[in-house]
Structure formats: structure tokens, C-alpha cells
Amino acid sequence: DIQMTQSPSSLSASVGDRVTITCRASQGISNYLAWFQQKPGKAPKSLIYAASSLQSGVPSKFSGSGSGTDFTLTISSLQPEDFATYYCQQYNSYPWTFGQGTKVEIK
């Protein structure tokens, strides 16, 4: 199985900050990587697919990059509604696997 490791596991940031979350795959997955946002008590929301393509309706303050084994999710200017847990997921090969999550909290 491909292991997905996110860092950091949690971070504290202020409104307006630029935030970057890293996701590393245990082997190359090309660009078959997705990012999700999950708020407490809510279903995940799809943000990005193919490492850098925004899902329909997702604001452009979210961006993704990377290929192979190293990927990043960046939020350009953190807003109150962005405080949540973020997950990466590889869909290069079965079984699909998720990172452990990164919790973004208010400083």
C-alpha cells in the first residue's frame, strides 16, 4: 500500500496568513492526488484533484502543486471559514489511501 504522510499534523495560524500543508507519498503517484477539507461534524469537501486542479466552486485562494512523491496545498490568505482539517489522498493505485490529516486552528 502507498503511505501518505502529511505535515504538520496541526498548525495554528492567524486570519490573513498564508498556510502551506505538505503531503508525501511513499512511492511515486504521478499527479494522482486529491485534497479535501473537513469541518467538525461535517462531510469532507473536495477541493483539488490531479494535484493542482480546483474542483468546481472552490475559491482560488486554494492551490495545489507537486508531482511524484511531494505535494503541497496552499491557502493564500486564511479566512475564518478555512479553519478545518485537511486531508490528501492518492488515487494512483488500489488501495486508495489518505493522509492522516492536518488540523488548521486559529492562533
Instruction: Using CB under 8 A, list all residues that contact another protein.
Output: 32, 34, 36, 38, 43-46, 49-50, 55-56, 87, 89, 91-92, 94-101
Pairing between β-strand 102-106 and β-strand 10-13 as defined by DSSP bridges? parallel
Determine the Cα–Cα distance for residues 100 and 35; give it in Å rounded to an integer: 12
Determine the Cα–Cα distance for residues 105 and 12; give it in Å rounded to an integer: 5
Residue among 4 and 78 whose Cβ is closer to another protein: 4
The nearest distance, CB 38 to another protein, in angstroms, is 8
Residue among 19 and 50 whose Cβ is closer to another protein: 50
The nearest distance, CB 74 to another protein, in angstroms, is 20
The DSSP element (H or E) to which 71 belongs, if any, is strand 70-75
Determine the Cα–Cα distance for residues 19 and 78; give it in Å rounded to an integer: 7
Residue among 76 and 101 whose Cβ is closer to another protein: 101
